Amino acid sequence: MIRRFVVSVLMLLLLGACREAPPDKPEHTADTHQRQPDAAQPALNSAPAVAARAQQRLRTVARSGNIDHDVASLLLEHYRGAQQLAAVEIATGRDPDLRALADTLRREWRQESQTLGRLAGRTHYNASEDYTLLYQDFSRGMQAAGDSATRYYRPPTGNPDADFAAALSAHLRTGLLLVQVGIAYGSDPPLIALVHHFHHDQLRHLRQVQAWTLAHPISTKR
């Protein structure tokens, strides 16, 4: 009788152990390696990715055959890229100086984009310069500006502020190259005046970014 009771108790204990829930699996352990950000493959909305798309759009801006119209169109696209970079910094950045700069870029975009849009529309119907030696030289200058800009880009670090500073620096350098070509070949007085103003602002912002980068060397390293 006692043996039968002991056996029954042991059987109940074994059944209870078998019914216990398995130990909890640590959350996300199975795919942790898949979720880690890869610095070589930046997120779609990161500053490096936004800058790369902006650079690509600059290369695909439609050419009208009129130098002044094309300068205005290219600078308008450049402003749009700067505004998108600023939006990324405001959304993800933490550094107050860079966020203030991003806000300045957004305000400049609202002001200058309207002026550039009007200039592009006004110069669009000017006499075409297509197939002339001057326009061909202008086109080669713009192509060289785009090609030279690629050397300014740096691999992403995963630090939103450092990546914004590096991407914006490259973007501003591209703008300065575009400005040089625009001044050399453009002829519309209001456009040339705006281009000179654009050059002043881009150079000032570039110096701000360079100063920030020098003051934050650790944040630009992985």
Domain span at residue 158 reads 46-220
- Which CATH number belongs to the domain containing residue 119 in this structure? 1.20.1260.10
Establish if 63 belongs to a structural domain.
Answer: yes
Would you give per-residue pLDDT tens digits along the chain (222 residues)? 544 444 454 444 444 444 444 444 434 333 333 333 344 444 568 998 998 898 888 888 888 888 999 999 999 999 999 999 999 999 999 999 999 999 999 988 888 888 888 888 776 655 555 558 888 899 899 888 878 777 777 888 889 999 999 999 999 999 999 999 999 999 999 999 999 999 999 999 999 999 999 999 854 444
Establish if 21 belongs to a structural domain.
Answer: no
Q: What is the pTM of this model?
A: 0.73
Establish if 131 belongs to a structural domain.
Answer: yes
Establish if 41 belongs to a structural domain.
Answer: no
Establish if 3 belongs to a structural domain.
Answer: no
133 φ/ψ angles, rounded to the nearest 5 degrees? -60, -35
Domain total for the chain? 1
Closest to 170 (Cα-Cα) out of 151, 183, 157: 151
Give exposure, 177-216, as e/b (b: 16+ Cβ within 10 Å). Answer: bbbebbeebbebeebeebbeebbeebeebbebbeebeeeb
Establish if 36 belongs to a structural domain.
Answer: no
Establish if 25 belongs to a structural domain.
Answer: no
